[in-house]
Structure 1
């Protein structure tokens, strides 16, 4: 089994939906593009990541949303070194189709009270639903490591909530631990690094907005 030395999780750059939530009433979530700032953020991330990868081969997985595709394209990675696949299981949490801003704002308030992991949007998904599909993707990812020629780097271009749920699933965090963490900023990343003991560790923690409740069960 050829496990990669690093697995990089990258959130997309700033999209038009990040600066104007009324756009969801006119455009599908999956079709929202990066802003000029978002492209610049992705380009900056690309310069840093190219130094990290240092010319090594990369197996990349990209959410099927326009903003994640544009983020990947803006990284400026050498196409000769990258094997890229679109991965629908890494998409954003589904919040329904055409969204009414006031209704979504009400539901977000309900979600804050109910819990981000368990609350299900009326026409969409709960965080638990995203957790399940991320888990299915991880099974596929682990099978890919059976290839003895697997690249030493994995890059996953996705969304903030999906990044946190990926780490929750990978590191067996509790729901309370997940709930205590904030999303990374646009074009921010976290890296899972393979240690000499054969285990992965996170290069730096997610910001925490509160201390997790304890029910006497650990991750």
Structure 2
């Protein structure tokens, strides 16, 4: 199961650079100047709460900080068959190197974080894309979807950016060891490879 965004320009230099690698690895107390302009809790929200649902100090360092974190994709999906929930497994949707070393919680993460840095959806989101239209893995449906059977998908629409013309889509694709069985992915990767090959020749 994937989600797609259109007209989200996540390759802008200021956006891509706006993160703290130390902080994402669970190291606190370091400068978060790289997160500019989103460095303090109030830069994300004036009513930001920690993972214990307690209001955070507006002047304290945002954790996670930066533009990528501020515009984190937060829509959630619930799939059901005839009213019975169908499980969506969101474990191991990120790269193993992200899970094992690049994203770690500080010891007091529930007190200082507004979003868990070991959340794999966050790890996937931090893999920024070159193009303004992109697809990201959301999860794996826990059972085969039966042809001719009616399913319902409930979307909790949390991801909105005021004034932006961003379009959102959901895809289901049969996957194997090599990824999704979807020609769109192949076309995107081949086109991207061609662009970089031509740039290398210049």
TM-score by length of structure 1 reads 0.24
Instruction: Please tell me whether Structure 1 or Structure 2 has the larger radius of gyration of its CA atoms.
Output: 2
